[in-house]
């Protein structure tokens, strides 16, 4: 199996060294060490009862170097720590009046709640981040879910995603920032914890909520939840190559030149969308996780952002074709027990029939220097 195992550990609110390190925030004294202060720790676990609008905190925001990015305000310095302190002094929680529920979707969203009101024991990260943490429901955003899942599984993207939200724990004051990378420039986008309750997406662990915050941040960035699609990896410092087309004439060469390089050598992952498909869901995005060969059997591993396996063809889970491969090879090379029930293998020739293209995802050369140190599989917790 080529997908790199992450070494994420549980995140403890009171022990900031278990938090994912954010070296960019460290540069302006608003990284994890700054959250060890007693008053901040008390604010994170408090029980504020007064809603305070973001527009009422403009005096603080003005000191954090705001700038416009495609019509949305980002901040060169992360304001969250200062906002938590200010909100705590007023026994308040944030209400982001710059992005109210009536803007979330055409016609607005009338069912929404703060995290504490629909999650019994909220934990932003239960076991770090994985592509199987979340699933697409009734929002047509398979490309976006697949993008985030691919970054979570990518050896250079994983830590950039893991450290993108601060504070990386449940925060009673309800304010969070999400790092947005625009080539060599960074900014921090602010959101509150009032979230849609209309089945846009679901978390596998009902107490986990990191993906909901990513989803809301990018809905704010793009103007609506309805505008969420693929291509957002660039905002995490990851780029995608152009697609290489595959057909019957070149598929053996593309396997050797692309699939082996992307998956077995680099341990990268990527995502693709289907057109008209007979074996997969038509017009749907999938993560492409791995490619392995045993003797003359070539298989490609995929993940459906619905977080379930719908594929029923050759080498689907439990199919008779697996009798062609010894059990020890299944365990060692194909690792069928990993992501069990959440991913599947299919023959390469069927992949070419249904998804006749491949691309690679890689670390952008323009990623700020402060983040290059964590753009690798090494742990960023202590």
Domain ranges of the chain: 16-232, 242-359
Q: Containing H/E element for 89?
A: helix 80-89
Q: How many Å apart are CA 203 and CA 208, to the nearest integer?
A: 6
DSSP secondary structure letter of residue 40: H
- Determine whether 142 is an active site residue: yes
Q: Cα dist. 101→114, 199, 337 in Å?
A: 12, 15, 41
Among 304, 307, 336, 354, the active-site one is: 304
Percent residues over pLDDT 70 in the chain: 100
* Distance from chain centroid for Cα 362: 15
| Secondary structure (3-state) at 105 | coil
Domain at 242-359: CATH code: 3.90.70.10
- Determine whether 112 is an active site residue: no
Q: Write down the pLDDT at residue 100.
A: 97
Q: Write down the pLDDT at residue 314.
A: 98
Strand partners, 176: 191
Among 154, 158, 268, 284, the active-site one is: 284
Burial bucket for residue 39 (CB in 10 Å: 0-12, 13-18, 19+) = exposed
Q: Write down the pLDDT at residue 355.
A: 95
Tens digits of residue pLDDT in 62-86 = 999 999 999 999 999 999 999 999 9
- Determine whether 284 is an active site residue: yes
Number of helices followed by number of strands (H, E) in the chain: 12, 19
Of 113, 125, 86, 111, the C-alpha closest to 6 is 125
Q: Write down the pLDDT at residue 204.
A: 97
What stretches of 191-247 show up as alpha helix (H) in DSSP?
210-222
Q: Write down the pLDDT at residue 277.
A: 84
Q: How many Å apart are CA 277 and CA 262, to the nearest integer?
A: 24
DSSP secondary structure letter of residue 32: G
Q: Write down the pLDDT at residue 3.
A: 84
Of 116, 212, 101, the C-alpha closest to 171 is 116
pTM over 0.95: yes
Of 296, 306, 379, the C-alpha closest to 341 is 306
Among 142, 159, 171, 303, the active-site one is: 142
Q: How many Å apart are CA 358 and CA 188, to the nearest integer?
A: 32
């Amino acid at each position: 199996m080529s997908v790199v195992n992450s070494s994420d550990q549980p995140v403890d609110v009171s022990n900031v060294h278990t938090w994912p390190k954010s070296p960019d925030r460290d540069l302006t004294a608003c990284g994890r060490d700054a959250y060890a202060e007693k008053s901040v720790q008390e604010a994170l676990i408090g029980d504020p009862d007064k809603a305070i609008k973001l527009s009422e905190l403009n005096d603080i925001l003005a000191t954090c170097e705001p700038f416009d990015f495609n019509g949305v305000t980002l901040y060169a310095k992360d304001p969250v720590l200062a906002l938590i302190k200010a909100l705590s002094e007023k026994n308040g929680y944030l209400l982001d009046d710059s992005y109210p529920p009536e803007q979330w979707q055409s016609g607005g969203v009338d069912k929404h709640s703060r995290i504490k009101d629909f999650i019994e024991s909220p934990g932003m990260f239960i076991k770090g981040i994985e592509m199987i943490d979340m699933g697409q429901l009734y929002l047509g955003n398979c490309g976006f879910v697949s993008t985030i899942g691919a970054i979570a599984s990518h050896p250079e993207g994983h830590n950039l995603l893991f450290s993108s939200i601060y504070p990386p724990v449940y925060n009673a004051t309800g304010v969070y920032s999400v790092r947005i990378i625009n080539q060599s420039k960074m900014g921090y986008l602010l959101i509150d914890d009032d979230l849609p309750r209309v089945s846009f997406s679901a978390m596998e662990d009902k107490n986990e909520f990191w993906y909901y915050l990513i989803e809301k941040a990018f809905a704010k960035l793009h103007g609506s939840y309805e505008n969420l699609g693929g291509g957002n990896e660039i905002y995490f410092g990851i780029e995608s190559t152009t697609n290489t087309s595959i057909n019957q004439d070149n598929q053996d060469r593309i396997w050797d030149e692309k699939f082996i390089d992307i998956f077995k050598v680099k341990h990268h992952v990527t995502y693709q969308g289907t057109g008209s498909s007979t074996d997969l869901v038509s017009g749907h995005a999938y993560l492409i996780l791995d490619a392995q060969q045993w003797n003359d059997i070539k298989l490609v591993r995929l993940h459906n952002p619905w977080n379930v396996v719908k594929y029923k063809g050759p080498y689907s889970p439990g199919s008779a074709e697996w009798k062609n491969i010894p059990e020890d090879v299944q365990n060692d090379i194909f690792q069928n027990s990993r992501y069990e029930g959440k991913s599947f293998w299919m023959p390469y020739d069927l992949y070419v029939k249904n998804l006749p293209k491949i691309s690679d995802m890689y670390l952008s050369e323009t990623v700020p220097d402060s983040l290059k140190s964590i753009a690798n599989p090494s742990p960023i917790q202590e």
